[in-house]
Amino acid sequence: MPALALVTGASAGIGRETALALAAAGCGVVATARRAEPLAELSRAGAIEPVAADVTAADGRARIAAAVGDRRLGLLVHGAGLFPRGLITSLSADDWQRAIATNVLARLELVLALRNALAGGRVLFVGSDAAVNPRAGGAAYSVSKAASEMLWRCLATEQGDEIAFGMAKPGLVETAMLDDSLRMPRAEFPAGEVYAAMRDRGETIAAATVARFFRFLLLETSREEFASGIWDIRDTAHHPRWLTAPLYVPRRSRSPAG
């Protein structure tokens, strides 16, 4: 029987493509995000149950848990993410709190709320190079991603016998988040120059390619392999097992707004 999957942050980008990829593989998918309209559109594309909810709010998580109900949840993908941009001297307390709430605490609270349903299942944390390689203007994101990585390790240490916890880094992905970064004034987000140069060199990855990678990890690896360490999409060792097209998108000219 195909697994039931829950994907957060499913209204756009990696989350949306992952929901579609898992549905195409035969999984039942509960897709959640704050915006109802993109979720409704997504549900029309396949066997996907939309749940409009804020994962940082207790009532939102309760709504998600109610949607799962008494079903066994085979897969959980932590796709929801928040990237406040700005230098440390300009970031507000609210910027920091929102980053931690979305990128760390929501992940913890959702696992705890669904712990019984997840018994024997898999949880995938979407990681980032920002956790170990800070970029100027992205401190709140880097700190929250580093905390998320440590949360993954702690959950695996304490709950790994019941649930398999995996971590995957998708590289620099062509999403609205990247476009927003390139539109930021360089004085506020100097790292935008790095991202623009990577796009110019053709070093960005399509969200659909990341989704295929996640589908491979969630459905085509053993439990032990899935939870064995941090998976990086750019590691060529696993490419023959899932990658059927070039990893990177064609080289693009720099965005005029960048």
**In this structure, is residue 198 part of a structural domain?**
no
List, as own/partner pairs, every contact residues 149-155 make where C-beta atoms lie below 8 angstroms and the sequence separation is at least 24, other chains included: 149/125, 149/230, 151/104, 151/107, 151/108, 151/125, 152/125, 152/127, 155/108, 155/111, 155/123
Query: Residue 69's pLDDT band (boundaries 50, 70, 90)?
Result: very high
Residue 180 domain-assigned? no
- The catalytic residue among 83, 141, 165, 195 is 141
Tell the residue number behind the tokens 């149950």, with chain if given: 49
Residue 251 falls inside a structural domain: no
Residue listed under structure tokens 């705890």: 112
Provide the whole-model pTM: 0.95
Number of domains present in the structure of the chain: 1
Domain interval for residue 157? 4-174+206-241
Say if 253 falls within a structural domain: no
Q: Express each pLDDT in 152-199 by its tens digit.
A: 999 999 999 999 999 999 999 999 999 999 999 999 999 999 999 999
Residue 221 lies in a domain: yes
**Is residue 191 situated within a structural domain?**
no
CB 106 within 8 Å of CB 80: yes
Distance separating alpha carbons of residues 124 and 166, to the nearest angstrom: 5
Annotated catalytic, 248?
A: no
Q: Mean pLDDT score of the chain, rounded to an integer?
A: 95
Cβ burial 135-148 (10 Å sphere, 16+ → b, else e) = bebbbbbbbbbbbb
In sequence order, which residues have a C-beta less than 8 Å from that of residue 182 and are 6 or more positions away? Answer: 192, 195, 196, 199, 254, 255, 257, 258
Indicate whether 27 belongs to any domain.
Answer: yes
For residue 9, is it within any domain? yes
CATH of the domain at 34: 3.40.50.720
Q: What confidence tens digit (pLDDT) does each residue in 80-137 have?
A: 999 999 999 999 999 999 999 999 999 999 999 999 999 999 999 999 999 999 999 9
